Structure 1
Amino acid sequence: MWTKKAIHRLKSLIKLNNAQFVAIFEPFIDKKKIEGYKKFLGFQNCLSNDIGQIWCFWSTNFQATVISNKDQQITLAYVTAVYAKCTALERQELWDDLTDISNQIQSGWCIGGDFNVILEPSENIGGKIHRAYKSFDFAACMNKCGLEDAGFVGSNYPWCNNRRLGKRIWKRLDRIIINDNWLQRFNNVTVRHLSRTGSDHRPLLLKCYDSNNDVIKHFRFRHFWVEQPGFLDLVGQDWQIEVKGNPMWILQQELKRLGKRLSKWSREDIGDIFQKVEECEATLQQLEDVDAIDKNEQSRTELNKGQAEYVQWMAMQEALLEQKAQIKWFEEGDSNTRYFHNVIKDRRRRLQLHKIKNSKGKWLHSDEKISNSAIRHFKRIFNLPESAVDDNIFSCIPKIITDDDNVMLSKIPIEEEIKNTIFDMSSTTSLWA
């Protein structure tokens, strides 16, 4: 059942992970309302199967062509969302459909969802003992289609019937399977079983990407630092260190030293925000499991603390994404993380150098060759002999600025003007931005 709590959790996960495709199974909502949920979740496209048990949402970045739309699966281009029937006889139609689709897809293929069957006894706790023959059809289908399990991180059992302890059953009914071409397309594929909230199934989060080369990191002031305990004390202590010289030299040295202190403080006291969010997610899963079993005041208190910490780290992560995008929020409090992810990715794509032509007209492709060629080029132009400039060439430039204008432009600004300029700047503007 798709509760109000579950839909808001889903929206948060979509924003947090910049999801481009989402599949929802058995929402128990009239499929005619899918358009409204599409807008609420922030997607541009949606599709439901005829019986309304599979809903798919995707963004414009996800190239989707409908290949198959049946009761137990929807296949869009190279992704299949599965919600299998409860009996082996009914599931046979699904295995046949997947086999037919495998003959149409020659590229990478990813299948995920609720298969309503496990592959081995270790994927089940509680209830009746699993019989191997019940897995034969699923295993045979995977083998025939050239599919393999993508693995996972998190709880071993994404489904639980949530009954009392003596009747409780855990199973791995939900999984993601992929073919070899998918692995060739993405050198890093991870599946996470997220915490279960408002449903008897855990959400499955699939991330696929190619590992990027390490880049040189320059200092950037992070806006969320000012909200952290100890920030003001650190700045105050560092700013009291005496530096001698002219005012501009003092300011430059103060900022340089403070930047190093802040970088070290951020690494040691705050750490990797994105990793912290993942750690909090894992901790929250454990606390939810403990609370479900213990059901006492202490477990509930620990769970509430874990949720509060999780929300805090998510807020810091979104603040960081906002700053990286280097644009302002259009509406105070909005959390359009997907948009900022796209802005960041687009900027990185446009700024990335894949090749460069050297002074001899030869194209260089590797990062090392490109950087060495650039260094040699600038060394050469900065070490050229000084050339004489004929001042008479300036006579052709018309005189537009009057003497009075020149005097006004050359005047040193007074403190009040400097103060007004600084105070008129955006609250998120800094010298390191």
Structure 2
Amino acid sequence: MWCVLGDFNSVRDIFERRGVGHNSSAGRSSEMVAFDAFLGDLELIDMPLSGRTFTSFHPNGMAMSRLDRVLISTSWSDMWGEPIVRVLERDVADHCPLVLRYSSLDWGPKPFRFNNFLLQSNEFKEAIKTAWGSQNLESWMGFILKERLKGLKVVIKESNAENFGLAEAKKKRLIKRIGDLDLKSEVLGLEDGEIKI
């Protein structure tokens, strides 16, 4: 039973690549045929993507490919069904993240995360120390840790908004702009001025 996700650095068909030096009138390259045969030999199903056609974008804004894939075996499909593979917007990376999703499965709460750059702020460190020390809880250790992290989440959000709110808003605008340009490049191509942004 297999589920393989990742950047395979290869395409299966000429339609999975645009703006790269392959002559589409020549048909499928030997690399494409070999990769397709490899997947066939392993009896892997290449799951279709939702949201985008391409997953990798060259910095020149003209070349794009579908290099990232989710491959499942028939036994995986029999056991779990077929997932939805959503292509998310990329930020400064050249690849878009993929999300493998089964709508009927609940994987539990979201993980605890924060931006590492906050650790460089003395105000942030003090706010964390104060918040952690002010929580007096009695129960089993797993519960105490969970509740302390929940309390820190509030402090982290407030500190982030207070000290870095403008940076976060700018980051979101830039990520949105990159996403808009990626979508435009998939359909229409980009103009010279848009490539240099």
TM-score by length of 1: 0.24
Q: How big is each residue's C-alpha offset from its partner over 1:199-242, in whole Å with a ceiling of 9 and x where there is no partner?
A: 00000111135479xxxxxxxxxxxxxxxxxxxxxxxxxxxxxx
Helix, strand or coil at the partner of 1:185: helix
Alignment of 1:271-420 (within 5 A): 284=176, 286-289=179-182, 293=190
Query: Which residue number corresponds to residue 13 of structure 2?
Result: 120
Task: Say whether the 8 Å CA contact 1:114–1:175 is kept in structure 2.
Answer: yes
Query: Which residue number corresponds to residue 64 of structure 2?
Result: 170
Partner Cα separation in structure 2 for residue 172 and residue 110 of structure 1: 18
Helix, strand or coil at the partner of 2:94: coil
* Corresponding letter in the other structure for 1:153: S
Report runs of 4+ in structure 1 exceeding 3 Å deviation.
209-212, 290-296
* Corresponding letter in the other structure for 1:118: V
Query: Which residue number corresponds to residue 144 of structure 2?
Result: none
Task: Say whether the 8 Å CA contact 1:152–1:190 is kept in structure 2.
Answer: yes
Q: Does 1:207 align with 2:101?
A: yes
Partner Cα separation in structure 1 for residue 183 and residue 17 of structure 2: 19
Q: Does 1:148 align with 2:45?
A: yes
* Corresponding letter in the other structure for 2:92: G
Query: Which residue number corresponds to residue 75 of structure 2?
Result: 181
Partner Cα separation in structure 2 for residue 150 and residue 180 of structure 1: 12
* Corresponding letter in the other structure for 2:39: M
Q: CA RMSD in A?
A: 2.8
Distance 1:183 1:172, change over 3 A: same
Distance 1:289 1:142, change over 3 A: closer
Q: 1:136: how far off? A: 2.3
Query: Which residue number corresponds to residue 137 of structure 1?
Result: 34
TM-score by length of 2: 0.51
Task: Say whether the 8 Å CA contact 1:154–1:194 is kept in structure 2.
Answer: yes
Partner Cα separation in structure 2 for residue 211 and residue 134 of structure 1: 37
Task: Say whether the 8 Å CA contact 1:188–1:209 is kept in structure 2.
Answer: no
Q: 1:161: how far off? A: 0.8
Partner Cα separation in structure 2 for residue 189 and residue 157 of structure 1: 18
Partner Cα separation in structure 1 for residue 105 and residue 82 of structure 2: 7
Q: Does 1:161 align with 2:55?
A: no
Task: Say whether the 8 Å CA contact 1:188–1:210 is kept in structure 2.
Answer: no
Q: 1:291: how far off? A: 8.2
Q: How big is each residue's C-alpha offset from its partner over 1:238-292, in whole Å with a ceiling of 9 and x where there is no partner?
A: xxxxxxxxxxxxxxxxxxxxxxxxxxxxxxxxxxxxxxxxxxxxxx575243688
Partner Cα separation in structure 1 for residue 183 and residue 54 of structure 2: 15
* Corresponding letter in the other structure for 2:2: W
Task: Say whether the 8 Å CA contact 2:90–2:179 is kept in structure 1.
Answer: no
Helix, strand or coil at the partner of 2:21: coil
Partner Cα separation in structure 1 for residue 29 and residue 104 of structure 2: 37
Aligned length: 116
Partner Cα separation in structure 2 for residue 290 and residue 133 of structure 1: 29
* Corresponding letter in the other structure for 1:127: V
Q: 1:127: how far off? A: 2.0
Partner Cα separation in structure 1 for residue 30 and residue 20 of structure 2: 17
Distance 1:160 1:286, change over 3 A: closer
Percent identity, aligned pairs only, is: 26
Q: 1:188: how far off? A: 4.5
Larger gyration radius, structure 1 or structure 2: 1
Task: Say whether the 8 Å CA contact 1:116–1:173 is kept in structure 2.
Answer: yes
Helix, strand or coil at the partner of 1:117: coil
Partner Cα separation in structure 1 for residue 6 and residue 63 of structure 2: 19
Helix, strand or coil at the partner of 1:198: coil
